Amino acid sequence: MDAANSYLQKLVESVPLREPLLRKIIASLNLPTGSHGLDAGCGIGHPTLLLADGVGLGGHVTGFDLIPELLAYGIQQAEQAGFSSRVTFRQGDIRSLPWEDDTIDWAWSADCIGYPLGDMAPFLQELMRVVKPGGSIYILAWSSQQLLPGYLLLEARLNATCSAYIPYLTGKGPELTFLRGMRAFRHAGLEAVEAHTYVGDVQAPLSPGVRNGLFSLFNMLWGQRQPEVTPEDWNAYQRLCLPGSPECILDVPEYYAFFTYTLFQGKVPHNMH
Ligand SMILES: C[S@@+](CC[C@H](N)C(=O)[O-])C[C@H]1O[C@@H](n2cnc3c(N)ncnc32)[C@H](O)[C@@H]1O
């Protein structure tokens, strides 16, 4: 499988796990009915459809992403859901958006800008250019998880070598961590800046989709063994986190886990341009 398709598959597998929480977050935003929003770095367009639901029948959301294969999947999903007239997908780089100044009512981006760390400034600047004065910018990202109940220390040790984060963490300062996003929002001149964290949880009995999503997540977080993982911890990971293992943690009748998403939001000032 090529890189784009394996990325696509990971995003598809995450849908059952994330959807209830994303719906809750979007409902809490009270997006203006009939508005036109932008989903920056939309991936397979899953949040794009949820956002379109949030703005109602007269609204419209454009999903924008670098990778054509992901956008093609989004177009197909929109057709199947009967959302083709409510969403548009466009390809490009969110650092250079193909819109005039002040043309979009609000912008959202999930698990993309500043995730898990990085300089948000150039992205915020470009989003602020296209969003109308008074419009909101929402930047959301996965911020924590507790997935191995009863194995706190093992989970902490696995997280400490988390292969998914290592490429991003090396050589970058703490000020670029996603949870410090408020700094970039304020520096950019956004107003009414706020941060909120939302919790998603899962409990046994798990649906096949959630179970599959958790296996995919285990693999993404810890499945690329790092040199510092001890043989004991690797063995425990394989016993607890692999499908088919007789000690798989997802078969524990009282299995319960949670994860969090953190949202930074702010409004484009009226004296922007
Ligand atoms: C982890 S995925 C998240 C996708 C989607 N937002 C979601 O929550 O399901 C990150 C996405 O950001 C896109 N992306 C990263 N940098 C980008 C850029 N500079 N311009 C456009 N898309 C970008 C990637 O192609 C990928 O689809």
Q: What CATH number has the domain bearing residue 183?
A: 3.40.50.150
Q: How many independent structural domains does the chain possess?
A: 1
Whether 73 is covered by a domain: the verdict is: yes
Write down the pLDDT at residue 173.
76
| Sheet containing 60-65: order of strands | 87-91, 60-65, 36-40, 104-110, 131-146, 256-267, 191-203
Do strands 87-91 and 60-65 pair parallel, antiparallel, or not at all (unpaired)? parallel
- Whether ligand 1 lies within 6 angstroms of the CB of 42 is answered as yes
Write down the pLDDT at residue 170.
72
- Whether ligand 1 lies within 6 angstroms of the CB of 65 is answered as yes
Residue having the nearest C-alpha atom to atom 27 of ligand 1: 43
Whether 40 is covered by a domain: the verdict is: yes
Q: From the CB of residue 149, how many other CB atoms can be counted at a distance below 10 Å?
A: 14
In contact, 115 and 145? CB cutoff 8 Å: no
Whether 159 is covered by a domain: the verdict is: yes
- What is the domain extent for residue 248? 3-267
Write down the pLDDT at residue 166.
67
CA of 68 to the centre of ligand 1 (A): 11
- Whether ligand 1 lies within 6 angstroms of the CB of 98 is answered as no
- Whether ligand 1 lies within 6 angstroms of the CB of 66 is answered as yes
Residue having the nearest C-alpha atom to atom 12 of ligand 1: 41
Write down the pLDDT at residue 273.
60
CA of 152 to the centre of ligand 1 (A): 31
- Convert 44-92 into a string of H (helix), E (strand) and C (coil): CCHHHHHHHHHHCCCCEEEEEECCHHHHHHHHHHHHHHCCCCCEEEEEC
Whether 240 is covered by a domain: the verdict is: yes
Cα 155 to chain center, whole Å?
Answer: 21
Which ligand 1 atom is at minimum distance from the Cα of 43? 27
CA of 271 to the centre of ligand 1 (A): 30
Question: pTM (2 decimals)?
Answer: 0.95
- Whether ligand 1 lies within 6 angstroms of the CB of 18 is answered as no
CA of 249 to the centre of ligand 1 (A): 31
Whether 272 is covered by a domain: the verdict is: no
- Whether ligand 1 lies within 6 angstroms of the CB of 51 is answered as no
Please report which residue ranges of the chain form alpha helices under DSSP H.
Answer: 3-29, 46-55, 68-81, 121-130, 152-160, 166-169, 181-188, 208-222, 231-241
Whether 273 is covered by a domain: the verdict is: no
Question: Which residues in the chain show pLDDT less than 50?
Answer: none
Q: Could you give the CA distance from residue 198 to residue 184 in angstroms, rounded to a whole number? A: 21
The token pair that represents 188 in the structure block: 């950019």
Whether 51 is covered by a domain: the verdict is: yes
